Structure 1
Amino acid sequence: MAGVDYEVEYNNRARVPENPALMAGWARDAAAYRARHAPRAMSYGPGVRHRIDFFPGDGQGGIDGKGPIVVFIHGGYWQALDGSSSSHLAAGLNAHGIDVAIPSYDLCPEVTIDAIIGQMRTASRELARLGRPLVVSGHSAGGHLAACMLATDWRALDASLPADLVMAAYTISGLFDLGPLVETSINKAMGLDQAAARAASPLFWPAPARGSLDAVVGGNESAEYFRQSQTIVDLWGKAGVATRFGTVPDANHFTAIAPLADPDSPMVSRLRQLAAR
């Protein structure tokens, strides 16, 4: 849109100068959670990052349990982090007996965003072997990938998969239209042009034939993050998808995910509702 400084709107590290301390806190809290709640490692491909950390819910049978699995896909603009930095975010749902799966994926510029979408589909297909539906959540770039999983035609990919493999997507500060990123410094690693950005943007895909979308945004985030989530909620809602927009009060881009670690948070309560359907 004319007059919008996309560099300012999307450069979250510049917008939140204390981000190094916040991210160091993620690493510390994630390591502490893994130490007391060790995940089971699953592989969905040959690469070292083709891994899923599976955190069984408290009191559950682990990977052979029953009921939906909540997937969490990490952010990092498709070019940073891995699933291990998010281990502690399984805590809120685990406390209620819900299993959480946290996949990692290869990063740009070694691979394209389209390849990362494909990797998350492969990870979802691996989880499908457990015979349980998925609620896919994600933060930032992970929110983009969660929406892509909801909008995927699973039967077209593999006739043996259930059409409703992904029951719902819950996105936290997600990105659904990648076009605004093309002229920013963020795109240096991704190498998108406008055509590739549009092709990788779930906002421009056919709306999901089933399931629901929750799109929440940190209350202190940029106007563009609000626009991104409100736009996909409105567009998919008009197409018949059950959609919901919300905010995480007083949260910036890096603190918006913190409620996932709190068993009593509204975010965890909503994900419990989605998993109970």
Structure 2
Amino acid sequence: MTLLTLEAEYNNRALVPDHPVVMDRWRERAEAARLVHPPRPIVYGPGEREVMDLFEAGPGAPVAVFLHGGYWQALGREWFGGIAPSLLAHGISLAIPSYDLAPTVRLGRILSQVRSAVEAVRDLSPTRARPVVFGHSAGGHMAACMLSEGRAGAAVAISGVFDLAPLIPTSLNDALGLDAREAAALSPIHWPVPNGSTPGGTVLDCLVGGNESAEFIRQSSMMAELWGGQGVRTRFEALEGLNHFTVLNPLFDPDSAMTRRIADLTSTA
């Protein structure tokens, strides 16, 4: 693809002109949820942003981990608490970590922080159960990484980026500073595929908005096909009528198929 095509395919804010309206709604719902269900802050590292919000469904409730998006260079846990009530309604606790952002740190460091956050969630379980990890965009990438490493009981990647190479020539890489070698090393399409001998889960759902760019749809379809062909229980679905931002809408509905799927995976992980 040409540089102009890649820029257009991966620059989601440009593709969705009304994204500020959707994101404002995320923040409003998060603030409302925090009032009704005040989260418990859990420090998982020494940095200012190495903190997660834990919305607790009750003692001993299974915990899912949500990894936020923003191309590893924007947003934080305070934007996404609005999805907690839907999971709490199913008896599922929700942990939402923040992490440092590029260009302050490199992507490899962000992945290291996410590992620490997931391990901190495991420490909350008497059996050190591996949590279900789900994430959006950059968070979808990291959810797949956690599954590959055996840290997740299952993963749901929503609009994930699994091959970072196409980002290199785009403006999105200005903050990330990826070169071909680093992009390949940090792309889960090149990572070990979880299997029966790998600790953790072997379930990966790849969901994407049906109205997203062809590249985002290709990334999710490719990942599901690649890992599915090697024994992982994968599922690909393009959700009709949803774009890169509204694809999170089902998470605000406790009765949506997406919420129920995450709740079911978490209950059985």
Q: TM-score, normalised by structure 1?
A: 0.91
In the alignment, residue 108 of structure 2 is paired with which amino acid? D
Structure 1 pair 248–91 and aligned structure 2 pair: CA distance change class (3 A): farther
In the alignment, residue 190 of structure 1 is paired with which amino acid? L
Query: Contact (CA 8 Å) 2:40, 2:54: kept in 1 or not?
Result: yes
Give the drift of 1:133.
Answer: 2.6
In the alignment, residue 121 of structure 2 is paired with which amino acid? L
SS of alignment partner, residue 263 of structure 2:
helix
In structure 1, distance between residues paired with 2:223 and 2:36: 38
Give the drift of 1:48.
Answer: 1.2
Residue segments in structure 1 that go unaligned for 5+ positions in a row: 154-164
Q: 2:130 aligns with which of 133, 146, 150?
A: 133
Is 1:273 the counterpart of 2:240 in the alignment? no
In the alignment, residue 10 of structure 1 is paired with which amino acid? Y
Query: Contact (CA 8 Å) 2:189, 2:223: kept in 1 or not?
Result: yes
- Report runs of 4+ in structure 1 exceeding 2 Å deviation: 1-4
In the alignment, residue 75 of structure 1 is paired with which amino acid? G
Query: Contact (CA 8 Å) 1:89, 1:258: kept in 2 or not?
Result: no
> What does residue 206 of structure 1 align with?
192
Deviations, residues 71-106 of structure 1 (Å, cap 9, x unaligned): 101000000000110000112111111111101100
> What does residue 173 of structure 1 align with?
159
> What does residue 235 of structure 1 align with?
226
Percent identical residues: 50
After TM superposition, the structure 1 = structure 2 runs for residues 177-188 of structure 1, keeping only pairs within 5 Å, are 177-188=163-174
In structure 1, distance between residues paired with 2:109 and 2:130: 23
SS of alignment partner, residue 35 of structure 2:
helix
Residue segments in structure 2 that go unaligned for 5+ positions in a row: 196-200
Give the drift of 1:258.
Answer: 1.4
> What does residue 140 of structure 2 align with?
143
SS of alignment partner, residue 257 of structure 1:
helix
Q: TM-score, normalised by structure 2?
A: 0.93
In structure 2, distance between residues paired with 1:11 and 1:246: 21
In structure 1, distance between residues paired with 2:84 and 2:206: 19
Q: 1:249 aligns with which of 240, 246, 253?
A: 240
> What does residue 121 of structure 1 align with?
115
> What does residue 156 of structure 1 align with?
none
Deviations, residues 102-128 of structure 1 (Å, cap 9, x unaligned): 011000000011111111001111111
In the alignment, residue 139 of structure 1 is paired with which amino acid? H
> What does residue 160 of structure 1 align with?
none
Give the drift of 1:2.
Answer: 6.5
> What does residue 111 of structure 1 align with?
105
Give the drift of 1:34.
Answer: 0.5
Is 1:49 the counterpart of 2:49 in the alignment? yes
Aligned alpha-carbon RMSD (Å): 1.3
In structure 2, distance between residues paired with 1:104 and 1:20: 20
SS of alignment partner, residue 155 of structure 2:
strand
